[in-house]
Chains A and B, each alone.
Chain A
Amino acid sequence: TAGITQAPTSQILAAGRSMTLRCTQDMRHNAMYWYRQDLGLGLRLIHYSNTAGTTGKGEVPDGYSVSRANTDDFPLTLASAVPSQTSVYFCASSEGSADEQFFGPGTRLTVL
Chain B
Amino acid sequence: GQNIDQPTEMTATEGAIVQINCTYQTSGFNGLFWYQQHAGEAPTFLSYNVLDGLEEKGRFSSFLSRSKGYSYLLLKELQMKDSASYLCAAMDSNYQLIWGAGTKLIIKP
Contacts and interface: CB of A to CB of B under 8 A. Distances in A.
Q: How large is the interface on B (under 10, 10 to 19, 20 to 34, 35 or more residues)?
A: 20 to 34
A101 interface: yes
B38 to A, nearest CB: 12
Q: How large is the interface on A (under 10, 10 to 19, 20 to 34, 35 or more residues)?
A: 10 to 19
Interface string A93-112: 00001101111111000000
Which secondary structure characterizes the binding site on chain A?
loop
Nearest to A48: B96
Given A100-B48, A104-B42, A42 B102 contact: yes
B45 A40 contact: no
B30 interface: yes
Contacts of A45: 96-97
Q: Which residue of B31, B44, B97, B102 has the most chain A CB atoms within 10 A of its CB atom?
A: B97
Nearest to A42: B99
A34 interface: no
A30 B96 CA distance: 15
A75 interface: no
B4 to A, nearest CB: 6
B91 A98 contact: yes
Given A90-B43, A104-B42, A106-B42, A97 B95 contact: yes
A100 B87 CA distance: 13
A42 B4 contact: yes
Interface in B43-81: 43-45, 48
Nearest to B42: A103
A61 interface: no
Interface string B81-109: 00000010101000111111110000000
Interface in A32-61: 40-45, 48, 58
Interface of B: 4, 30-31, 33, 41-45, 48, 87, 89, 91, 95-102
21 contacts: A40-B101, A41-B101, A42-B4, A42-B102, A43-B43, A43-B87, A43-B97, A43-B99, A44-B99, A58-B96, A90-B42, A90-B43, A97-B95, A98-B91, A100-B33, A100-B45, A101-B45, A102-B45, A105-B42, A106-B41, A106-B42
